[in-house]
Structure 1
Amino acid sequence: MENESQRRGYLFRALGTNTPVQYQLAFNTPTNDFIPNLVNELVVYGEISSGKPALCALLKVIREDVGIDVQATIDALIVEFLPPAATQTISTPPHLLFDLLLQIDFKQQVRLVEDVLEQHQTAAFLIHGEPDCGQELLVTRLFRIKSAWKNNSPIKNDVTINAAYRSTERLWKQLARSFVLPQDTKPENIIDKICDRWQTQDVILIFEKVDSMPPKVLVGWLQEFWEPLVDRGKLNPPLKDTHLLMFLVDNCGSVCKSQVMLAKEFDEPEYPRIPLYLPPLSPFPPDILKDWLRDMKVFRDLQIPADLTYQRLWEKSDNGIPQFVYEEICTHFDLSWEGGLAKWLI
């Protein structure tokens, strides 16, 4: 809430037009003065409907525009301000549980990607690890690093569809379909399309299941597709501070063992022409699950199941395999992972 326009916009979205609060506030005052005055006025205003305080309505609107960590703090505040009758019957909404699952571990990978984005407008990453270790969830977590990306649709390609992994020619055809272009579109025209979009917005390319690609095909694809994009970015960088990102998703940890060249550090001379090897994903150790459940206690009024302990969670998930951890947690909340929460994966 740094400027008058943003302040009025949040109040309009939360309360609608012509509410008394809007006429009681001085919108052009410093933030340190405005926030306390706003809270006082909302408390005085009371509820906008039965069991829905005006302050909670505003917090829910602000929640839509912030990162995961801040969302958790806002959720705790909302619970604190809800009347007792509301908190007694509240259950964990599926979208909230999904956001909480995103916070289990992966801090090392997220921090590294954030560091890279501060230094490079063009970046490529290999997301890899043992099977069922949360590769898709990490992609989704990384996609939330910038709040602006929530309005951005990634260019996502599963290289196993139509056996695209067999050759670079098939991969070009698949990529052309992603841009709604004829399958025989020339590679340079596809690259032009990507660079044109990059001039005005972030472009995020995701290639899934690259472990199914023969190493020679993956090497050839990086040479034919990615390296020309990197060169274009150097010759004609976007005027705006936009990013061109590529994520290669390896679901079994085989790419790093092949002859595909990977960067171990993002300050290497060859980066970003070759993808950065992110720390591999692996089963969650008990301490990670213990810490996550401890942090969950801030949501004490969200009916956290009493039998959801880190020991039980670790044992029931085949010693912390992430995919099984997500499924087990959902079961405790009477929700489904595959049939429910997984739909929010990128």
Structure 2
Amino acid sequence: MPSKSKGVCYCTKHIFGKVVIVTGGNSGIGYETAKDLAYRGGRIIIACKNEEHGIAARDKIIAETGNRNVHFRKLNLASLKSVRQFAEDILKNKKRIDILINNAGIYSSKNVKTEDGLLEGMQVNHFGPFLLTCLLLPILKMSAPSRIINVSSVVYKKGKIDFNNLNMEKETESSFKGYQVYYNSKLCNILMITELSRRLEGTGVTANSLHPGIVNTNIFKGVDDRFTKIVISMFKCHFKTPWEGAQTTIYLAVSPEVASVSGKYFVDCHQEVSSKTSRDPELARKLWEVSEKLVCLNKLMNDNIQTKSKCKVNTEKLIV
């Protein structure tokens, strides 16, 4: 048993017939999560933007586990159109979704906007998963008991929510800090769960978040700060492996112990109390409402998720 990981999921429960979506399931924590759940008999959907990597991961998991119910579906969280197309495909072709794992994320040090006018780091880490979750809520409710899991990070504690600068539109080239975008998005992951769990009360759908630990994955490829790179290289040998980093996600996906637990934050397969800010119901509610506007959620629901509809928000005019 690896010594670096205090938290290991010892639950041996199988999930035969259950349908699981793992975003970013082609590598790192997501891949190890998808593989473990495939071993348990789940019907796995690996959702990622790179078709070549997604298919390769699918084939490798099938070969290792013998479970042929592993599939790849293209999903680019940096494109709200792609999120809508993915959700529409799921709703048309799947009768149930039992577990949604919002695992994919990036560490983007650059001030880059997507085709939707949103900051890339915020969209991939928060707005994209937020829209995906909202669009899949009907099928998750029909599949209850079901589970939603957000992979966050302990750095959420350094995150700040400024509704007048949520998309960092007020930052100049010199004042923009890529790491702050990552911190903010990880705080959004937990605040999303705070409000989502409230909205899901009585539905049989649970929603929880987690910190996987500091894990040696390719997320650090997005770091271009020289000092940060040096620190990472110095301490990389102490990071968790992707297998270790996946344990808490797996625990939240399969353990009977958390079957009725919702709105909580977990570290090393144990529940911990997250910060007061991340549990602030008013802040969580407001973030939810602002996020709905930024991804044009109400318009999408009225249009019945028509993937051809265009949604681009002028975030500079979004003052709360």
Instruction: Calculate the TM-score normalised by the size of structure 2.
Output: 0.31
Instruction: Calculate the TM-score normalised by the size of structure 1.
Output: 0.29
Structure with greater helix percent: 1
> Between Structure 1 and Structure 2, whose CA radius of gyration is higher?
1
